[in-house]
A and B are shown apart, each in its own frame.
Chain A
Amino acid sequence: MTKKGDMLYAWTNDAEIQKKAELGGAVTSLWKHALESKTVDAVLAITKGKDLYDAQPVLIKDPKDLAKTAGSLHCGTLLLPKLIKKYLDGAETMKIGVTVKGCDAMAFYELAKRKQINLDNIIMIGVNCGGSVSPVIARKMIAAKYDVDPDKVHKEEIDKGQFIIEYEGGHKGISVDELEEAGYGRRSNCRRCKMKVPRQADLACGNWGVIGPRAGKATFVEVCSEKGAKLLDGAVKSGVLATEAPNPKGLEIRGKVEGAMMKLGEKWRKHDFEGLGEGKDRLKTIMTETSRCIKCYSCISACPICYCIDCTTKNPAYVTPGDIPPNFMFHLIRFAHIADSCVNCGQCQELCPAEIPNAMFMHAQQVELEKMFGHVPGQNMELPLMAFVEEKTERARLHNTGSDMIYENVFNPLKGH
């Protein structure tokens, strides 16, 4: 019987999964068992769309369809939890298994805190994540830095600090540092990310620490919850998954790599946040950059912290409808509502047509708020700062001031008087 805290090497016994899988196919086998045992009704995972740069979410119900979700797509920059909130009833009506990167896992918790997702109905298998690359940038990078036609590439991976491609006629690796120096490489939020092993998932899987004969053929699994332990035991029992104790040296290496990645994340934070300046200078940078906003609402629709039906940015008293660019209040509203809980998933930046480094701004503020109030978003169900406002008391206080905008717009107390 495995239990929370256990570590092991795992790989599949299923020939088809093995062919397509990244590192032994543990993740896909676990999902196979989850579906077959009806532990979950469906699995939400990532599959290739038009090609290996085109990551697409798929909802799988038939275990036979799982093989197409095996393999890691490093150009998959999607955030799955918000899709579950938007399109799958917040997992209220079905049990869903989801493969999660660190940012996905964090987003799940933040959405759950806001009662937008029912975590009881979610099983998360986490994958360690060194970062993801936006697909069009990846293609440009492959053409420019590797001198390879991106259409000829049939596999990409990130290993030992290199972005490696396999293509018709060879393979080539270039260090991620060098690529990022040249303006390519991982998304800017990924560079700052320190959620390398998503331990808030039920299982955390990755290649770090797999050494010896199993290297490249098995995945290192850290059991992070009783749910995870049960799933793993079940998969072994059903015969789809094989496991063994990890090489102790591997364990050590895994710890070291994780530590090194955290340091790298810290380095990037320093680099990015110092670039923003401080105090008034920072404000000025933010105001200048956001002044290009075309009000597409993408940052809001993609953000895992945003969920309000009546978004305050749509209150005409604050932001005049139709004004492009909108006033700074549009952005202030987002800062005020989100900064304490931003999980640095990068969606608001990657999707911004005005090329505003939104995630960088929000993340910078989150880090400051964390220093001040100690709240760490995305790790557990601990409530954010804003939740500590006692709503009734606050409403009463606002009401006594006579004219409070929030109050008026939400409850219209003067209506009918």
Chain B
Amino acid sequence: MDLKYVPSTCPYCGTGCGINLVVKDGQVTGISPWHRNPVNEGKVCIRGNRSFEFVNNVERITTPLIKKDGKFVEASWEDAYKEIAGHLKSVKGDEIGCVASARTCNEDNYVFKNFAQNVVKTASIDYCGRGCNADAVRGLADAFGKGAMTNSITDISDAKAILVIGSNPLDENPLAGRRIIMARKNGAKVIVADARTSATAKIADLHIAINPGTEVAFLNGVAAAIIKAGKENKDFIAKKTKDFEKCKAAVAPCTPEAVAKICGIPEGIVTQAAEIFTASSPASVVTSAGAVSGDILRASANLVLLTGNVGVAGAGVNLLRAKSNAQGAMDMGCVPADNGHAVPAMIEAAAAGKITALYVMGENIASAGPKVAEALDKVGFIVVQDMFMTETAAKAHVFLPSASFTERDGTVTNSERRVQRVRKAVEPIGSSRADWQIICELATAMGADKGFAFKSADEIFEEIVKNVPDYAGITYAMLEKPEAIQWPAAGGVFGSAFLYADKFATKDGKGTFAAVGYTAGEAVSADYPFAVAAQWPRGTLSLNTASIVREFPEAKVTINKADAQKLGISTGNKVKVSGKDGSVTMTANVTTGIKTGVVSLPLAAAAVKLEKTEGA
């Protein structure tokens, strides 16, 4: 019997918790705490705790598959590459869409971007199934200069006031949520704006049940109240920022009365939130990417610029990412060029017959809803690299089996810009291969003569640091330290726990206010009377982990008790949920922990109608 620990990074969310893989006789049989990792100090959520399960799931596909007469047939790697090369060569670059992955390593995404750019020659590359991540990152980049969280997950515990909006960290990014708990133990006041009495709302000092989609109005309201009370940080604004007047004018209509009406909250509460946010510093905003993220991020940025809460520990705008390498995929440049499409646009183009080939690495874009699945049916040729037969993979013409995070080396970059190692602990299962290796071999098979001759993940990383300025100077050797490195690494100064201590990274070094007006989204109507508070869908890894499926066996629609009574719905009933884009059936979860008129479900819809279909 052999037993060994291999430190790695949790493959689930963007918190990037360190874990020890327990390897017994050549198999990953468990996860043990890695106390030494600074992000989570050995603690994990249920996903991290069970992150070895999907690795050994018998459902994993470990042989290349080629679809023949509508059925997948096992194939050799050579034949699979030949099949792909043959098809892609006959398609023009601008008809090809490439979807990179927020849950594979930087090395994979880096070669994938080069593959898109130089081999299939398309400008349409993106890394996220929905538009929100790119929006959010752009919002941050425009305000501060860098498209990333300003501070660290660890330093959230130093905050004295925290506003959580558009996010439920205790459930979604639990080990970042822990930092809010710690801050609160240190005396911080916590405000949570959420239509649901979420796990995070339950620990708040002030829970404000705002209507979904009204986050910007709320944030502007808080900004307006701060300005009205004369509590803005005038010195900071004068010295370090620009365009304050634009912001001031834009938030002016968001009076407490107006905001109360839009958000569906009591009048005094916005002023109360403003008081808490300015009562002590540092103060921070915690959020995550969702619908209208760009605006929410800009409005959040306004708030921290207004109060001088950037450039110090425990402050800033803290964007928590859903997937382990959302930050890294963006850092590697897996975003559409000016003339390219993001995923939602690719889907539209596919539906219109303008995208005729798709290459998807480690993302399940079809899970976004029936519309996407229909569009994929129109695409002439689809390649999917994955571990499992996802909805997207089922539509592939060629399926290439990826090695899991325990079977290959690499790096992932968490929400707080920390570049951490993923380590090969066991051999790839079956004939699966590391994603970067697949791309390199395919590129070579397609005739690429340079840029893909990598022998190891380490070699790719050496290329990355030459081409991605924020990663300059980082080496695998440096990442051996459990602290790893938080970019920017330029200039040989490593470990930026928070950004902008001296100046902003914008062209003129100033933090930039924005005029972000609140625009009402799709309103509820008689046809679709319920506003939707979006829930994170369970992804491919969760769906293939028995312990997580046991907790969350199915997607549920959460509805307030009073609303449910009117519709005759009780917990456990099947309910038809219809929105503009079609309908799905889900199980009802009736609770008092959500605002009336609001339902929560894992679908991209703004307003829906519910009908009970079965159940007593």
Contact = CB atoms under 8 A, between A and B. Distances in A.
A379 B43 CA distance: 29
A321 B550 contact: yes
Contacts of B496: none
A210 to B, nearest CB: 30
Contact of A59 (B1, B7, B547): B1
Interface in A49-96: 49-51, 53-59, 75, 77-78, 83, 86-89, 93-94
A87 B480 contact: no
B353 interface: no
Interface of B: 1-5, 7, 20, 22, 24, 29-30, 32-36, 38, 40-46, 48-49, 170-171, 174-175, 177-178, 181-182, 185, 199, 202-203, 480-482, 547, 550-553, 556
For chain A, give the interface size range.
Answer: 35 or more
A297 B49 contact: yes
Interface in A18-73: 42, 49-51, 53-59
Contacts of B38: 136
Contacts of A151: 481
A351 B203 contact: no
A271 interface: no
A134 B35 contact: yes
A325 B481 contact: no
23 contacts: A49-B36, A50-B36, A54-B36, A56-B5, A59-B2, A59-B4, A75-B35, A78-B35, A83-B3, A87-B29, A88-B3, A292-B170, A296-B49, A297-B547, A298-B43, A298-B49, A301-B49, A322-B556, A351-B33, A351-B44, A353-B44, A354-B178, A354-B181
Contact of A136 (B2, B41, B49, B551): B41
A325 B7 contact: no
A151 to B, nearest CB: 8
Given A87-B30, A351-B33, A353-B175, A294 B3 contact: no
A54 B553 CA distance: 37
A215 B34 CA distance: 34
A104 interface: no
A134 B41 contact: yes
Interface in A286-321: 291-292, 294-298, 301-302, 314, 321
B181 A292 contact: yes
B43 A59 contact: no
Contacts of A58: 3-4
A325 B202 contact: yes
A355 interface: yes
A58 B20 CA distance: 13
Interface string A127-138: 000000011100
Contacts of B48: 296
B178 A54 contact: no
Nearest to B549: A321
Given A50-B480, A57-B5, A351-B33, A294 B553 contact: no
A262 interface: no
A281 to B, nearest CB: 20
Closest 3 CB pairs of A and B: A54-B36, A353-B43, A59-B3
Contact of B174 (A54, A56, A296): A296
A82 B459 CA distance: 39
Contacts of B7: 49-50
A151 B170 CA distance: 32
A350 B33 CA distance: 10
A295 B46 contact: yes
A224 B3 CA distance: 29
Contacts of A367: none
A147 B1 CA distance: 44
Given A58-B4, A83-B3, A325-B202, 17 more contacts: A49-B7, A50-B7, A50-B482, A54-B36, A58-B3, A83-B22, A87-B24, A136-B35, A136-B36, A291-B202, A292-B170, A292-B181, A294-B174, A298-B44, A322-B556, A351-B44, A353-B45
B551 A296 contact: no
A352 interface: yes
A324 interface: yes
A187 to B, nearest CB: 11
Contacts of B4: 58-59
B170 A355 contact: no
B579 to A, nearest CB: 23
A296 B174 CA distance: 9
Given A49-B36, A135-B36, A355 B181 contact: yes
Given A87-B24, A324-B199, A296 B45 contact: yes
A57 B45 CA distance: 22
A33 to B, nearest CB: 22
Contacts of B32: 83
B493 to A, nearest CB: 16
Contacts of B5: 49, 56-57
A297 B481 contact: no
A325 B7 CA distance: 29
Contacts of A295: 46, 551
Counting chain A CB atoms within 10 Å of each CB, the highest count among B1, B171, B185 belongs to B1
A107 B120 CA distance: 59
A277 B309 CA distance: 39
A212 to B, nearest CB: 37
Contacts of A298: 33, 43-44, 49
A321 B178 contact: no
A363 B531 CA distance: 47
A88 B199 contact: no
Nearest to A93: B1
